[in-house]
Amino acid sequence: MAQIAKGLEGVVVSDTALSHIDGERGRLIYSGYDIADLAHGATFEEVAHLLWLGHLPDEAELAELKAKLAGFRELPAAVVDTIRALPKTAEPMDVVRTGVSALGAAQRFSGPASVEHAMVLTASMPSIVAAFDRLRRGLEPVAPRSDLNHAGNYLYLLSGEVPSEQRTRALDTYLTLTADHGLNASTFTARVIASTLSDMGSAVVGAIGALKGPLHGGAPALVLDMLRSIGKPENAEAWLTAALDRGERLMGFGHRVYKAEDPRARVLRSLAERTSEIDFFKLAVRVEDLALKMLHERKPDRKLYTNVEFYSAAVMHGVGLPDDLFTPTFAVSRVTGWTAHVIEQLKDNRLIRPASEYVGPVGLTFVPLERRSTRAPA
Catalytic residues: 255, 309
Backbone angles phi, psi at 45, to 5 degrees: -65, -40
Q: How far apart are the first and last CA of the chain?
A: 31
Q: 3-state SS string over 234-296?
A: HHHHHHHHHHHHCCCCCCCECCCCCCCCCHHHHHHHHHHHHHCCHHHHHHHHHHHHHHHHHHH
In whole angstroms, give the CA distance from residue 236 to residue 239. 5
Residue 263 near residue 212 (C-beta atoms within 8 A): no
Would you call 51 helix, strand, or coil by DSSP? Answer: helix
Crossing angle, helix 326-347 and helix 92-107, to 10 degrees?
Answer: 40
The C-alpha atoms of residue 326 and residue 227 are separated, in whole angstroms, by 15
CB 318 within 8 A of CB 163: no
Question: Which secondary-structure segment (H or E) carries 20?
Answer: strand 19-22
Q: How far apart are CA 228 and CA 94, in angstroms?
A: 25
